[in-house]
């Protein structure tokens, strides 16, 4: 692969951004007398005025004497709080429903989610590139697609049948798939946990040769396989299975893989047993190795919440389902894992959430492991895009994060993980203007991050009225009875050769 000199990249990025600017004249935006939340320091900066011109923040400073550009649109921020735009770092927003390639973009923006990382989608990478161009040009109002992997790579140990999965069964196949994804424009390679350790090494070797990072699920072969492959991010959960006692690990290795309708209960019971056989010294060693290797954990603890919601079918779930497309409602209702949610499953899921997900995620964070917010929304049933990010923030705090730490996990840390810290993740001059204006203080209660007065997406103001219109549009899109989806990729990926 041809490598450009490093100094050329900022010039190319600047040229791309200039080409992406909308031709219309931008009206400056001034948010005055607002409390800016400094997420890096976890501190409020009171009575600030933030000036936005085009796509970027041009100044942040005390309101006293702050020059407001002539003709600027002024938003009075008295009594309000301003945070950076939120991330969903494990999003599947590119999950077509009907003719809409990104059907939840309105809902995500209305909930303050302005950037996504897409670890596997049903959309061809060429179409993702086209979507990015439209979003950057201001032609399509949608969260930024900061990184996308395209189809997921998996192996013979998988029990999955997702249409976006591509199987790896040889070194040649691994190289072909990685090279094809690289040529199509993938930002990273996503691997599932159905790969043998050997297949993981094949993919890792091919990805290194192509200059692409690798992220994925917990790998067969445990920590040794993951670290040897140079996997940059572990999606979903701290790998507690890596730090059980040696005797239990040997016994667990002989157990059959759970498949079919009983897999949920079997997997939850296995997690319960893992928690009962932890070796604290091994857990601490794994955390140190994760921190030393720079591996990021993408928290999707929200998955542990949905079981009780499905069993009780309460008002909150009913309200959220009004925003879910008919195709996805049908898919969720026909998912065999959720066909018969029992009190036993709910109890196990909630103990697993507390004992494994939240406790170990906090311990990893305290050990210096980067934790970022993701949700797995849409493919994981009953996780509703936008709403799920706020659920995740609340869960991190429930698990022991401070509100400031949780906010960093959904703003600054994802930007830093993806090498975008110079343009996203904080509120400062020169940053892209992705902002969320809140009616209440999120440092006092992180749930206040859902009390949204306005959103700014790449400099475009979505005020209270515009936000209400986005929600109305999403409800209209989701209207009607559940409808069976037609599952297929949008476009083709190179076939087996």
Q: Is residue 359 pLDDT above 90, yes or no?
A: yes
CA-CA distance, 496 to 375, in Å (whole number)?
Answer: 31
CA-CA distance, 186 to 128, in Å (whole number)?
Answer: 10
Burial of 484 (0-12, 13-18, 19+ CB in 10 A): exposed
CA-CA distance, 440 to 453, in Å (whole number)?
Answer: 9
CA-CA distance, 120 to 39, in Å (whole number)?
Answer: 29
Higher pLDDT, 337 or 108: 108
Average pLDDT over residues 319-342: 91
Higher pLDDT, 196 or 406: 406
Query: Using 50, 70 and 90 to split pLDDT, how confident is the model at 260?
Result: low
Q: Is residue 23 pLDDT above 80, yes or no?
A: no
Position 265 scores a pLDDT of: 86
Smallest Cα–Cα separation from 306: which of 317, 320, 319? Answer: 317
Query: Using 50, 70 and 90 to split pLDDT, how confident is the model at 395?
Result: very high
Residue 179 tokens, joined: 């090279």
CA-CA distance, 16 to 14, in Å (whole number)?
Answer: 5
The partner residues of 234 in beta bridges, in order of sequence, read 216, 297
- Summarised one tens digit per residue, pLDDT across range 269-302 is 888 898 899 999 999 999 999 999 999 999 999 9
CB 67 within 8 Å of CB 53 = no
| CB count in 10 Å sphere of residue 404 | 20
Altogether, the residues listed in the chain come to a count of 497
Which residue matches tokens 């591509």? 166
Q: Is residue 167 pLDDT above 50, yes or no?
A: yes
Position 75 scores a pLDDT of: 98
- Summarised one tens digit per residue, pLDDT across range 436-465 is 999 999 999 999 999 999 999 999 999 999
CA-CA distance, 388 to 382, in Å (whole number)?
Answer: 9
Position 158 scores a pLDDT of: 59
Position 129 scores a pLDDT of: 93
Least confident of 200-214, 268-282, 334-348, 475-489: 475-489
CA-CA distance, 490 to 126, in Å (whole number)?
Answer: 10
Q: Is residue 5 pLDDT above 80, yes or no?
A: no
Position 181 scores a pLDDT of: 95
- Summarised one tens digit per residue, pLDDT across range 109-147 is 999 999 999 998 888 899 999 999 999 999 999 999 999
Position 60 scores a pLDDT of: 98
Q: DSSP of 429-454, one letter per residue?
A: TTSB--EEEESS-TTT-GGGGG-EEE
Position 109 scores a pLDDT of: 98
Smallest Cα–Cα separation from 460: which of 439, 432, 440? Answer: 432
Position 157 scores a pLDDT of: 61
Angle at 270 between CA 268 and CA 274, to 5 degrees: 115
- How far, CA to CA in Å, does 389 sit from each of 300, 421, 475? 9, 20, 19
Position 21 scores a pLDDT of: 41
- How far, CA to CA in Å, does 188 sit from each of 57, 119, 441, 455, 479? 29, 8, 36, 29, 35
Q: DSSP of 178-216, one letter per residue?
A: HHHHHHHT-SSEEE-TTS-HHHHHHHHHHHHHHT--EEE
Q: DSSP of 158-179, one letter per residue?
A: -----TTEEE--SHHHHHHHHH
CA-CA distance, 446 to 252, in Å (whole number)?
Answer: 38
Position 22 scores a pLDDT of: 43
Q: DSSP of 237-255, one letter per residue?
A: S--GGGGB-HHHHHHHHHS
CA-CA distance, 451 to 440, in Å (whole number)?
Answer: 7
CB 381 within 8 Å of CB 331 = yes
Choose from 96-105, 124-133, 190-199 the range with maximum mean pLDDT: 124-133
CB 124 within 8 Å of CB 162 = no
Query: Where are any strands of DSSP class E within 231-364?
Result: 233-236, 296-299
The partner residues of 30 in beta bridges, in order of sequence, read 51, 74
Least confident of 40-54, 213-227, 300-314, 344-358: 213-227
Smallest Cα–Cα separation from 231: which of 148, 296, 146, 299? Answer: 296
Q: Is residue 372 pLDDT above 90, yes or no?
A: yes
Q: Is residue 12 pLDDT above 80, yes or no?
A: no
Half-sphere exposure (Cβ direction) of 120: Cα atoms closer than 13 Å? 22
- How far, CA to CA in Å, does 446 sit from each of 48, 157, 394? 21, 40, 6
Residue 474 tokens, joined: 């999403």
Smallest Cα–Cα separation from 336: which of 118, 92, 161, 104? Answer: 161
First to last CA, the chain: 21
> What is the pairing mode between strands 43-53 and 29-38?
antiparallel
Q: Is residue 199 pLDDT above 50, yes or no?
A: yes
Q: Is residue 10 pLDDT above 60, yes or no?
A: no
pTM: 0.91
Query: Where are any strands of DSSP class E within 267-402?
Result: 296-299, 371-373
Work out the angle between the directed axes of helices 280-293 and 359-366 (0-180°, nearest 10). 50
């Amino acid at each position: 692969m041809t490598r450009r000199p490093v100094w050329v990249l900022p010039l190319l990025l600047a040229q791309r951004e200039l080409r992406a600017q909308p031709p219309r004249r931008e009206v400056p935006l001034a948010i005055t007398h607002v409390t800016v939340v400094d997420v890096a320091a976890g501190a409020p900066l009171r009575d600030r005025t933030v000036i936005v011109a085009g796509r970027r923040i041009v100044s942040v400073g005390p309101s006293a004497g702050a020059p407001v550009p002539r003709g600027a649109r002024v938003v009075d921020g008295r009594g309000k709080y301003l945070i950076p735009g939120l991330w969903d770092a494990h999003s599947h927003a590119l999950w077509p429903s009907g003719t809409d390639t990104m059907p939840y973009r309105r809902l995500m923006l209305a909930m303050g989610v302005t950037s996504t990382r897409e670890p596997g989608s049903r959309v061809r990478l060429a179409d993702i590139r086209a979507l990015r161009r439209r979003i950057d040009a201001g032609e399509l109002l949608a969260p930024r697609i900061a990184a996308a992997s395209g189809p997921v790579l998996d192996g013979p140990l998988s029990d999955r049948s997702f249409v976006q999965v591509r199987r790896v069964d040889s070194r040649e196949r691994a190289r072909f798939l990685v090279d094809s994804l690289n040529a199509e424009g993938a930002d990273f390679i996503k691997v599932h946990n159905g790969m043998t350790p050997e297949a993981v090494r094949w993919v890792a070797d091919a990805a290194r040769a192509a200059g692409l990072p690798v992220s994925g699920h917990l790998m067969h072969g445990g920590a040794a396989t993951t670290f040897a492959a140079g996997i940059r991010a572990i999606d979903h959960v701290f790998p507690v299975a890596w730090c059980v006692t040696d005797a239990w690990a040997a016994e667990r290795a002989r157990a059959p893989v759970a498949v079919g309708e009983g897999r949920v209960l079997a997997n939850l019971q296995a997690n319960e047993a893992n928690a009962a056989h932890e070796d604290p010294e091994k857990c601490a060693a794994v955390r140190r190795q994760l921190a030393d290797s720079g591996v990021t954990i993408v928290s999707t603890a929200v998955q542990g919440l949905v079981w009780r919601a499905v069993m009780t079918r309460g008002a909150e779930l009913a309200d959220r389902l009004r925003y879910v497309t008919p195709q996805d409602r049908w898919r969720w209702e026909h998912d065999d894992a959720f066909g018969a949610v029992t009190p036993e499953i709910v109890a196990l899921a909630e103990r697993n959430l507390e004992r494994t997900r939240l406790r170990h995620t906090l311990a990893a964070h305290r050990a210096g492991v980067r934790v970022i917010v993701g949700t797995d929304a849409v493919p994981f049933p009953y996780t509703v895009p936008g709403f799920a990010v706020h659920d995740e923030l609340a869960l991190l705090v429930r698990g022991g994060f401070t509100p400031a730490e949780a906010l960093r996990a959904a703003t600054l840390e994802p930007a830093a993980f993806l090498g975008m810290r110079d343009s996203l993740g904080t509120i400062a001059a020169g940053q892209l203007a992705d902002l969320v204006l809140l009616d209440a203080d999120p440092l006092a209660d992180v749930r206040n991050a859902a009390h949204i007065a306005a959103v700014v997406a790449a400099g475009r103001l979505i005020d209270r009225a515009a936000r209400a219109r986005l929600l109305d549009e999403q409800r209209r899109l989701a209207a009607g009875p559940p409808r069976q989806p037609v599952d297929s990729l949008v476009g083709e990926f190179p076939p087996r050769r």
